[in-house]
Amino acid sequence: MNRFAPWVATAALSLCVAGLAYSADEAKTGTTGASTVTAQGGRAAPAKKLIASCTLGDDARIQAALRLLHEADRAEIRLANVALQRAATPDVRAFASQLRADDLSTELRLEALATKLGYDLDLDVNDPIQAGYQAANIAEHNRLKARTGRSFEAIYLGPLAGDHDLPVEAIAQSQRVTTMDSELRKLLNETRITLALHQHNAAQLMDQLFVSNIPVAIGGGPKAVPSTGGKP
């Protein structure tokens, strides 16, 4: 289950709001960009559906996606730092170290390109939706700081094996902009590959963690659970 599943819709909406703010700025200078979002019944919808519904201008779509990716990178770096201190397994610590190195490398390139192309990466903390997305990342960081050892590893790795839906979809939507800078497009393509690798490696480590915690009987195989005679 995704780490941010309860508020995937909120995070996706933040993409729209961020783009709307950027579009409003563009409108002041004579360009256009507008967006409307419909969430039927007020219920959470898949990230892909909500993000796709944001009919933003080209620059606004790129701006919104880069803001989300920037925040996602920073959140993963914070969690990787905690993992390096609290994970019990060398393989998990090695994974966290590699993830942090990948995200730091992406951030350096992303920040340089954003400066060059005139994009603002910081979330708008005055916007309640964007502020909520950022606050949830911080809350997850604080929650993991309270865990150690195998308990920490399960909570850390599980979501990483499947919580990249928003960044991946944000990249996909922004790459539909045909006028995107070629260097930025290259970075986003490479980022999608890196995110997929992170998911794959996290899933493998989760499998190892699960197998290592199954009691083994003599001769191999899982140990049978003693019967309680129908008693709870």
Digit-by-digit pLDDT tens for the chain (232 residues) are: 344 444 444 444 444 544 444 444 444 444 333 333 333 333 334 455 444 445 557 887 888 788 888 988 998 999 999 999 999 999 999 999 999 999 999 999 999 999 999 999 987 676 565 676 678 778 888 888 888 888 899 889 888 886 666 677 778 888 888 899 999 999 999 998 998 899 999 999 988 887 765 443 444 445 544 444 555 5
Residues 6+ apart with CB under 8 A from 38: 53
- C-beta separation of 95 from 153 below 8 A: no
What integer pLDDT is reported at residue 36 of this predicted model?
31
What integer pLDDT is reported at residue 104 of this predicted model?
97
Q: What is the pTM of this model?
A: 0.69
Q: Where are the domains of the chain?
A: 5-212
What integer pLDDT is reported at residue 231 of this predicted model?
55
The structural architecture, per CATH, of the domain 5-212 is Up-down Bundle (1.20)
What integer pLDDT is reported at residue 141 of this predicted model?
85
For the record, the structure tokens of 226 come out as 């003693």
What integer pLDDT is reported at residue 18 of this predicted model?
45
- The half-sphere exposure of 216 on its side-chain side, counting CA atoms within 13 A, is 8
CA diameter of the chain: 77
Cα separation, 34 vs 133, in Å, equals 22
Q: Give the dihedral of Cα atoms 156, 161, 166, 169; nearest 10 deg.
A: 160
What integer pLDDT is reported at residue 32 of this predicted model?
33
